Structure 1
């Protein structure tokens, strides 16, 4: 088992958080300049379709014929959570706040996803095992670090958020993201495709957001594209944050479960704060450094426990003499 093979899934999630950081910084700029949220969503998902479709035809040419009415309904529900609710609410929350402030709310997604997955039986808590205890402590430490990162600055404790409307929208977005991660498990069981699943999801999402956007704003100015930062944001978000990210997250969920990808969300807070400090002169406080330490410690504990659980599951299946489809191949 090579060292590179072991880190493929975590490295892919690290890449997703890098894409997310760039998306948040670019989106904050264009939204502050008046870009219509639903036009951004509709265009970026159309770009996502154009980017992923050639990959789907090349690597999954046969899976397209597996589509049926049940899968269509799941895809509709899947993207309703991902874009119509989660992304639109997040963009409106981002528009009312700042990139660093809104990115901190992404850290609620891991614990919300974890709780929902346990309640629905998608994820087992296994609290009696040492791995289960460490996984739970890691998740709480990671989220706790994100809270410290966001509210403790070293001298002043910001108990009440200054952006009330934006905060409410961001919290609602977190719940929608959590349901999206859990929904992916069902979708992957009936439609095991990371490419075609992404194509159909982006296509449906583009239609949903376009229709809602037209209802909300029919002015041509809201939908007109120019050769400026808005177009760059759409292309960047469409290729990296919609096309590539959807494929990587779908693959990670199939390998590690729905609670695995959102555990990396706190990293985007760290990346965003560092970049804002470097680009815009924002100060990094002692509270930020403490939060970073807790985030990295909690993330390491969670990933270690998750891997131990997977290895134990593999040994149990071998001991029973049963042939099981495990979420991780022997290469991982």
Structure 2
């Protein structure tokens, strides 16, 4: 009985860990499925349109049941405008460019750029003065070092190849000149995708303060993204063959991405943030890079080069260093300077919602501590002085 109780306690303690590993496995499957169907000629905007139709249907019950009041009363024209911009930058631009980059390169190569998104967001937020660099502190130096390692890893993967080896026997041979041309074009798409994601995070952090309802916002964004993808897609390609669905891998990928990669992942990550904090889910992102590299090399016969392994190592080390320093800095913001005896102690007021269901993930990631100085209670000092004067008067009498 005791052993069973201990096993149950360990399983309960590892629930969040298992959940985040599941998220990375889902992300790995999504990258591989997307690469397969895009390589077979699937139209990117058709994929995005159908994916967000499924995502809208999956998110709708949560938004209509748990956040019905927010949909009816809190949605204004200003909120709709910013949600429109989120869909434009975070889905049409960021996801669309990523799909085009994935089509031209490989799943492992594209996933490397996904791990650069926190660094790009940090650079944009520092340039726009949303966040301070804090180079005088040790944590600020570690963040800068982590960002530099990530950029060095990205450059290594792009510019250096080295020796090549294969895990699977059914590897594919490609023309080196065509491969170089596709890789260059895909790299440009992926870099633009990272910058779009950085802009998306900045917009999302502001919108989450005005409309902090994650299911309602995701529901509205999915609807807007569906309309945007359909309009742009029909403007680019109106052929029925590009929009036709069949019982094939494309249909499986659409339902997989809409149900597991969107709805299920959102629920698991929001639950993990509520249990372990906003930085915890981000710490698992490099695992998807390792999973994708192994799975793609084994199942799709993709080559593995020394340059890609070296670049992956630099990106993982740099990202972990950056996120670790960011997590410690988040907990230390607002703490008083040690040794300053005359400095008043700040009252830390953490921005928290009424319930865990009301604050979106990105709002938690962008939450800031607000410090207010406490005035010294001068009436207490005056009372002590009056008591001392009364005692002196009694002694004189």
Partners of 1:142 and 1:295 within 8 A in 2: yes
Tell whether 2:90 aligns with 1:63. no
Q: Structure 1 residues 171, 323: closer, same or farther in 2, change over 3 A?
A: closer
What does the per-residue CA deviation read over 1:62-112, in whole Å, with 9 as the maximum and x for residues that have no partner?
Answer: 322211111100000001001221122222222233323333333443332
Who is 2:82 aligned against?
74
Structure 2: how far apart are the matches of 1:15 and 1:125?
34
Conserved in 1, the CA contact under 8 Å of 2:282 and 2:323?
Answer: no
Task: Provide the residue aligned with 1:135 in structure 2.
Answer: 143
Mean CA deviation greater in 89-98 or 240-249: 240-249
Unaligned runs of 5+ in 1: none
1:245 deviation in Å? 4.5
Contact kept? 1:110, 1:265, Cα under 8 Å: no
Which one of the candidate residues 49, 52, 55 is aligned to 1:48? 55
Deviations along 1:172-217, one digit per CA (max 9) or x if unpaired, are 2221111111111011111101111111111100011011112222
Change (3 A) 1:173 1:11: farther
The equivalent position to 1:218 in structure 2, one of 232, 238, 243, is 238
* Displacement after TM superposition at 1:5 (Å): 8.4
Q: Give TM-score, length-normalised by structure 2.
A: 0.70
Aligned to 2:349, the other structure's residue is in SS state coil
Q: Establish whether residue 319 from structure 1 lines up as the match of residue 319 from structure 2.
A: no
Q: Give the aligned length.
A: 323
**How high is the TM-score relative to the length of structure 1?**
0.82
SS at match of 1:62: helix
Cα deviation, 1:153-179, whole Å, max 9, x if unaligned, reads 4448x9x95423332222222211111
Higher RCO (CA 8 Å, separation ≥ 6 residues): 1
Q: Is the 8 A contact 2:334 2:348 kept in 1?
A: no
- Which segment drifts farther, 237-246 or 225-234? 237-246
* RMSD of Structure 2 on Structure 1 (CA): 3.6
The alpha-carbon distance between structure 1 residues 249 and 211, as it changes in their structure 2 partners (threshold 3 A), is farther
**1:68-147 aligned within 5 A:** 68-147=76-155
Partner of 2:207: 187
Higher Rg: 2
> 1:29-57: per-residue Cα shift (whole Å, max 9, x none)?
11222222111101100111111111223
What is the CA distance between 1:138 and its match in structure 2? 1.9
User: CA–CA distance in 2 between the matches of 1:183 and 1:25?
Assistant: 29
User: Which secondary structure state, in structure 2, belongs to the residue aligned with residue 323 of structure 1?
Assistant: strand
Q: Secondary structure at the match of 1:299?
A: helix
